[in-house]
Structure 1
C-alpha cells in the first residue's frame, strides 16, 4: 500500500489509489473503498481509508493511512451512570459504524480550549464512552511490539483518548510500537462527589481498560509483557494513584508520568466536602445540563483551597480502590518494586495558566513588575505543584525497588513567549501538524516543524517502553525548537 508523505500531509489521509490485496491473511488489510463500505461517509474519508484488520479475535473494521492502521472505539467495558464498569465482551464488529468518529465522554467546555487549539473539534460526546483506539504499524513486524497506553490530561474534567492532537501515527510508524488511547469518565460522571455512589469511577474505568489491554493486545501484535502506561497531567495523576490502588498491580510493566500534579495530591478532604455539599445529591436520571450545573457549583465551592482548587476533581483517597491518604506512600513503596518509572516535568509548567486565567494574565501585564512577577510565580508554583511532588514520588518508588528516572523538559519553539509550559511536550510526542497548527501554546511557529523536532523524544519514549532503557543525559529537540529533556536516574 502506498501513502502520502506524513511530513507534508495529514497523516490520517492515504493515497486514494490504493490497490486491494488479492487475499486477506491474518493481520492483512483489505481496502474497502472500491467495494463500497456502507459505514464510510460520503466523499473523501476524513479519518483514513476504510479497511479491515484480521486478528485472532476476529475481523475488526479499521482505517489506514500514513503508514498505520487504526481500530477505533473498541469497547472495553460498559457502565450505567454512577456505577462501576463491567468488562465488555469482545465484539469485533461492534464499532463498525464508528470507525470514522472520535468519541469523548460528556464534558463542559474547558477554559484551556483556545490555548490548545480547540482539541475537541469534531468530537462526538456520548456516555457510552468506555472505549479504546488502537494504532499499529501497517507493516507490523512478526514479533510482538511494545505497547504504550496513553492516558490523557485535562484536570480529570476534559479530553479524550482519541483526539486529533493525540494522533500517535508518527511514533507508531517510526518506532514500530502499538499505541492504545483510553477514554474514561470525567468530572462528576467519573468522580462523583456524594457518598451514594462510588467515588473513583474514573480510576475503575482505567483499571478495566488496562485489563482489556493485557488480555487482548496480543491479537493486535502487541506484547502483553511490555505494556507501558503513559499519562500526562491528570493522566499522570491517575496513573500514580493506580500504582497505589487495590487490584491494579501488574497491569503495566513500565510507567511514564508526564507533569503529574502530585504536589496537590494531599490535603483535599475539606475541599471535597465543600464540593459535595455544593453539588448536592446526584440523581442518576438527571439531565446532563443539570449534572454540569452541579459540577460547576462543586468547582466554585473548591475555590479558596489554594493551588488544589486548580484541579478540584479527581481521585478520592480512602474510597475504593484507594487506601487512606496517609497510606498511599506506603502502597507506592510496596507496589513499585516491579516497575520501571520515568517522571517528567516542564521547566515553566504554570506559564500555561497565565494564558488561560484572566487574573494572572492581568498581573503579568502590569508595567515594570509584570514580567518579574510572572517569572517568580511560575517558578514557585511549578515547583510546588509539579517538580517537588514528582521528585518525592520518584524517591518513594525508588525505595520500593523501582528503577526510576526523573527528567526536566525545557523545550519550546524558537521565539516562544510562553516557554516550556504545561502540555507543550505532548505536541512533540503526537505531532499531528494540522491539529496543532495555529495553537497559541506553540506560537510563533512551533507546529510547522513538530515531526522533526520531536523525533528524539519519541524515540526515547519508545526505547523506554521497549526495554526500560532511557538515553543518559540530554534528549534534544530538533529544527525550529530550542531546549531538551535532561534525565537522571534516582
Structure 2
C-alpha cells in the first residue's frame, strides 16, 4: 500500500470551500488530497506574509515544492528516490491536506469536541536543511485511511533561508512559517472535515525539535492542543549563540534577491563555520533564542512551563538513535564490525543517544508534568541487526510508502509484512494520542511508555 500518489481523472475531483478559497482536490490510494495550497508568501530573508483568500477555484492537485536545498547523499542511502517528483522552489510556503475518502465539512458528528476529525500536522525533519512536507517518505495515506484523521503536511524554509538570522536579518523564519501554517489550519481545516480545536503537531528529528520550540513560541497559544516530539536532538539546542553569530557573519553577504542557486551553494561554507563549535555543529542550523518568536535562552524554561497546562505532550526517542550515523560513516561502520571494537562502538552509540536525544526528552517530560501539563515519555525499539532502534526507523512505520522504504537499510531485510504490522500499531498509538491526549493501555512490545 501507499504507492498511489497520482491524481485520478478530473471527473472524480472534489471541491472544498474554505475561508481561504475553494480548492479542487483529488482522490488516490484510498484518500482525498488537496495539495500544494499556499498558506503564505515571503521575500528572501523576510518573515512570511499570510496568503489572502483566493478568488475563484484553486487547483490543489500538485505537490508542494520543496525548499531549495543542497544535495543530501545520506538520504539516498536511506530511502529510494527520497524527493520523488517534487520540484524545488523558493516560493515553497505550501501545505497539503489529506482526508478520508468520505470526509466532508465538520458540521456533523466527529471525534473532536468541535464535531470534526482529529487533525495531525506533520513537521518534517532533516537537520533543518533537507526534506519537504510532500516527500513520498512522508506519505500519510495509511495513517489517514486506518485512523480516520486529517493530516496536514507543511513545507517551510530550511537552512540559510529559514534557520539563520543575525547581522541585521531576522532569525527563525522557518518557525514563523510554521506558525503561519498553523493559523491557516485553525481558520480552514473545518472545511476539510477536521476539528480546529483538536490539532496535534507531530514531527521527527529537526521536525520534533521545531515542535518543541513552538510549544514555547510567542503567538502559538491556541494553535494546537497536543504535540508529539520524536527523536528531537534537544541536547544540541543550548549554548549556540556564538556559533550562530559566526555563521550569520559568514552569510551576511548573501544576496536578498536574484537566483537562489548561489545561496544554496554557499550554505556549505556557512555550515562549516558552525562545525568549529563542537557537538552543536553537528546540526549548525536551528532555532535561535532571543529572536521572534522565541524567548531569550535564560527565559526558555519559564516559557515552556507557562504553556505546559495547555499542551498534552508525547515525547520520546528510538533506543539507539546514533546507530544510524555510525552506519553512514564507513570507517565507524567497519570499526563496529571489528572483533573487540564492536562493544566500544555500542557504548558510544548508547552514550551519544542519551546525550543528544534521550536525556533532554526525559527532562522535557518531567518539566512539563511539574508545570501542570500531561506528558508521556516513550522509547521505540524496532528493526533488525545493527540499525535496530536507529534514528528514523519510526518513519517507515508511520508512513509505509513501500517503494520508498522497502529497500532501506533501516529495515535490514525485514519482511514488508512485518513492517506493515508494526506500523499499524504505531499509527494506532499516535492517532489515539491525537484523539485523547494519552496513549492506549495496550502497547506493542517494541514501544515502551513512561506515563509519569
**More helix by percentage:** 2
SS at match of 1:305: helix
The equivalences for 1:142-291 within 5 A come to: 142-143=108-109, 144-291=116-263
2:285 is matched with which residue?
313
Is the contact between residue 280 and residue 294 of structure 1 (CA under 8 Å) also seen in structure 2? no
1:424 is matched with which residue?
393
Is the contact between residue 333 and residue 396 of structure 1 (CA under 8 Å) also seen in structure 2? yes
Is the contact between residue 437 and residue 448 of structure 1 (CA under 8 Å) also seen in structure 2? no
CA RMSD between the two structures: 2.0
Change (3 A) 1:93 1:125: farther
Match 1:10 to one of 3, 17, 20? 3
1:440 is matched with which residue?
409
Unmatched tracts of structure 1, length 5 or more: 1-5, 17-30, 34-49, 477-482
Match 1:32 to one of 10, 14, 24? 10
TM-score by length of structure 1 reads 0.85
**Relative contact order, higher structure (CA 8 A, sep 6+):** 2
Is the contact between residue 74 and residue 94 of structure 1 (CA under 8 Å) also seen in structure 2? no
Q: C-alpha distance in 1, partners of 2:14/2:286?
A: 37
Is the contact between residue 61 and residue 92 of structure 1 (CA under 8 Å) also seen in structure 2? no
Q: C-alpha distance in 1, partners of 2:221/2:43?
A: 26
Change (3 A) 1:246 1:295: same
Q: Does 1:361 align with 2:333?
A: yes
Match 2:48 to one of 78, 85, 89? 85
Match 1:101 to one of 57, 63, 87? 63
Q: C-alpha distance in 1, partners of 2:344/2:265?
A: 35
Match 2:436 to one of 467, 478, 485? 467
Shift of 1:356: 2.1
Q: C-alpha distance in 1, partners of 2:16/2:49?
A: 26
Match 1:456 to one of 425, 428, 432? 425
Shift of 1:109: 1.1
Change (3 A) 1:288 1:447: farther
Q: C-alpha distance in 2, partners of 1:449/1:432?
A: 14
Shift of 1:307: 2.2
1:55 is matched with which residue?
17
Q: Does 1:134 align with 2:97?
A: yes
TM-score by length of structure 2 reads 0.92
SS at match of 2:70: coil
Is the contact between residue 77 and residue 131 of structure 1 (CA under 8 Å) also seen in structure 2? yes
> Over alpha carbons, which structure has the higher Rg?
1
Cα deviation, 1:31-69, whole Å, max 9, x if unaligned, reads 625xxxxxxxxxxxxxxxx61223354542222122210
Cα deviation, 1:336-384, whole Å, max 9, x if unaligned, reads 111110001000101111122344334434x323311221111000000
Cα deviation, 1:179-218, whole Å, max 9, x if unaligned, reads 0000000000002344221111001001000111011101
Q: C-alpha distance in 2, partners of 1:126/1:244?
A: 30
Q: C-alpha distance in 1, partners of 2:247/2:76?
A: 27
Is the contact between residue 407 and residue 487 of structure 1 (CA under 8 Å) also seen in structure 2? yes
Cα deviation, 1:131-150, whole Å, max 9, x if unaligned, reads 11000000127431000000
Match 1:407 to one of 367, 373, 378? 378
Moved more, 341-350 or 278-287: 278-287
Unmatched tracts of structure 2, length 5 or more: 110-115
1:25 is matched with which residue?
none
1:22 is matched with which residue?
none
Is the contact between residue 95 and residue 152 of structure 2 (CA under 8 Å) also seen in structure 1? yes
- Report the number of matched residues: 441
